[in-house]
Amino acid sequence: MTAYDNLMAFQRDTEALAQIAGRLSWDQETMMPRGAADQRSDERAAMEAVLHQRRTDPRIGDWLAQVGQPEDPVAAAQVRHIRRSYERAARVPEKLASDIARLVSRAHVVWAEARADDDFAAFAPVLKEVVALRRAEGEALADGGDTYDALLDDYEPGAKAADLVEMFGALRPRLVALREAVLSKPPMPGLTGSFDEQGQMNLSRLLAKTFGYDMARGRVDKAVHPFSSGSGDDVRITTRTVPLEPFNCLYSTIHEVGHASYEQNIDPAYRLTPLGGGVSMGVHESQSRIFENQLGRSRAFCGWLYGQMRDTFGPDIGVSTEEDFYRAVNRVQNGYIRTEADELQYNLHVLLRFDLERALISGDLAVDDLETAWNDRFEADFGFAVDRPAHGVLQDVHWSAGLFGYFPTYSLGNVYAGCLYAALRKAVPDLDEGLARGDTSAATGWLRENLQRHGGLYSPRAVIERAAGQAPSEGPLLDYLEEKFSGLYGL
């Protein structure tokens, strides 16, 4: 066995164990008996300890030293991933890592209570601790470089906040302007009627297959939060049902199928290796968003979906033409909550968080001033005031979990989706003809071939650039949104 063989054999087992840990999370959200929570914490902690030990195993360092820089591009990419992950793990003192794990576990509980009580002051003390420890971790990882960038790198390898500031700076004013123009127009129709749970789940499974999800290597279950879990041949998704809001279920499903297809479509040769998963959160989100929005909320696809809705729930769903159904799907409304935001406003929610969390990590913004800063920024972008903390600064789980640097990947994913969609339309001029028949194969096949199959082979930016044919920028997303919503609202 060469050092490379040893390294990869060891890594394969680690990846396999990481898949098991992921399945355990899936089980917890879908199948676990409610009385098993405490025992499950112990089980997960034991598994995390095994994974941490393997990821910092000094033999990895020895093998890496012997391997050097392989010439084969696949081997080089494998080694690049392993080296990056090993070096990052080695930079964080073990005590700091375990302090953070314990702290965020506590912070999550405090946050959930504070949100229920609409009481930011109850969350602030523990959030200060989380900010302090994650800042310390960022400094350790940055090794003299930018602290926030070091945290961002966990979710979007290679991304720099300064680039995102520029990109999002170009995004924000045009989104605010578009939002204002749209909301000055009469509102779109909405659905009414009853949408039984079984019908929603049946239609979810149909949509999953329609978007190319391989049910023989996955499954769809219900959970409180929709998510996708796993890589390779076992990629499971969840969705949720809300009685009066079938779009919640259906578009959550399409979104998660975007994530899941990416994992399912990676070259099988990369299974249980560092190349065998999606390359970054941003690229992952580009897949979920292009499935959900550019394809799933397109006029052509909505025409097909309208027929499916009527077949499933009967003719009385509150709209009676394909065009009105398309307008209902794409209705823009005021709202406080990021996860419920429409395609137009979603990125404004994200940009707000990105700016605030950078200020928290740099120390320019104190946790005690966070609620006011949130409310001021929200009113500036959305034109109305936050009514309560649960609808504002306390709405998202991320900061309580220490996930600083995660939010911007949502908008980066949308920007990437915009670039990919522009290239897809050029490559497949008759895209809408298929979508209008409920046939997504031209689009999903193009994404598989040009992006998904590569897994972690290229860097996030590089894989987008290869597929889109140009360096990623916010322009295509803005052009798409302005064209779509101008048409919808007659601007």
Instruction: List, by residue number, the catalytic residues.
Output: 256
Say whether residue 234 binds its own copies (CB under 8 A).
Answer: yes
Beta bridge partners of 228: 237
Closest CA to 255 of 237, 280, 233, 278: 237
* Nearest distance, CB of residue 14 and its own copies, angstroms: 8
Question: What does the alpha-carbon distance between residue 336 and residue 313 come to, in Å, rounded to a whole number?
Answer: 30
Residue closer to its own copies by CB (options 156, 263) is 263
* Nearest distance, CB of residue 264 and its own copies, angstroms: 10
One-character DSSP codes across 443-466? HHHHHHHHTGGGTTSS-HHHHHHH
Say whether residue 65 binds its own copies (CB under 8 A).
Answer: no
Instruction: Report whether 52 contacts 85 (CB < 8 A).
Output: no
Q: One symbol per residue from 194 to 213: x for binding its own copies (CB under 8 A), - otherwise; what is it?
A: --------------------
Say whether residue 218 binds its own copies (CB under 8 A).
Answer: yes
* Nearest distance, CB of residue 9 and its own copies, angstroms: 10
Give the count of beta carbons closer than 10 Å to the beta carbon of residue 465: 16
Say whether residue 186 binds its own copies (CB under 8 A).
Answer: no
Binding residue (CB under 8 A) for its own copies from 109, 132, 215, 242:
215
Give the count of beta carbons closer than 10 Å to the beta carbon of residue 432: 15
Say whether residue 13 binds its own copies (CB under 8 A).
Answer: yes
Say whether residue 12 binds its own copies (CB under 8 A).
Answer: yes
Residues within window 247-276 making contact with its own copies, judged by CB under 8 A:
271-272
Residues within window 358-397 making contact with its own copies, judged by CB under 8 A:
none
Is 391 annotated to bind a ligand? Reply is no
Range in contact with its own copies (rule: CB under 8 A) among 19-27, 335-343, 345-353, 456-464: 19-27
Residue closer to its own copies by CB (options 232, 282) is 232
Q: Where do the H-state alpha helices sit in 143-240?
A: 147-155, 161-183, 197-210
Q: Where do the H-state alpha helices sit in 322-440?
A: 322-329, 346-362, 370-382, 407-427, 431-436
Residue closer to its own copies by CB (options 13, 364) is 13
Count of residues that bind its own copies according to CB under 8 A: 38
Q: One symbol per residue from 104 to 143: x for binding its own copies (CB under 8 A), - otherwise; what is it?
A: ----------------------------------------
Please classify residue 61 by burial: count the beta carbons closer than 10 Å to its beta carbon, then call 0-12 exposed, 13-18 middle and 19+ buried: middle
Say whether residue 32 binds its own copies (CB under 8 A).
Answer: yes
Instruction: Report whether 17 contacts 54 (CB < 8 A).
Output: yes
Question: What does the alpha-carbon distance between residue 455 and residue 468 come to, in Å, rounded to a whole number?
Answer: 16
Question: Which tokens belong to 223?
Answer: 């959970």
Question: Which tokens belong to 408?
Answer: 């911007």
Binding residues: 255, 259, 285
Interface contacts to its own copies, rule CB under 8 A: 12-14, 16-17, 19-20, 23-24, 27, 31-36, 38-40, 42-43, 45-47, 49-50, 214-219, 232-234, 236, 271-272
